[in-house]
Amino acid sequence: MPSMETENSNVLRAEEIKLLANEAFKAHKYSQAIDLYTQAIELHSENAVNWANRTIAHARLEECGSAIQDMAVQYRMHQGLLKLIPNIRSHALQSETFVGHVLLKF
């Protein structure tokens, strides 16, 4: 079991990585953003925002299966996730693709 100090360090590092992922996302570097969100999730899997952001990045790359898997994990892990769904839906509305329409079902 990790120590409290290690857990706090992981949370802080995950937040730093999330910021890098956000910058990659804004630059439309979705694959890079996914890799960075994945690193952040590995360090602190309880952060629903990282899962939601990775879902959106997968959607932008038309990776329907991965986007749906991430949303399913979010839903199971975080009942408080409901506040994030409008953000995910707004990104899906911008998409005229299959994955966008699938995300609208959530």
Question: What is the value of pTM for the model shown?
Answer: 0.73
The pLDDT tens digits for 73-106 are 877 776 655 555 666 656 555 555 545 555 555 5
Nearest to 32, CA basis, from 54, 1, 14:
54
pLDDT confidence of residue 75: 73
Query: 44 versus 96: which is more confidently predicted?
Result: 44
Q: Domains in the chain, please, with CATH?
A: 4-103 (1.25.40.10)
Residues 2-13 have a mean pLDDT of 83
CB 33 within 8 A of CB 11: no
> Could you give the CA distance from residue 36 to residue 30 in angstroms, rounded to a whole number?
10
List of residues 6+ apart from 12 with CB closer than 8 A: none
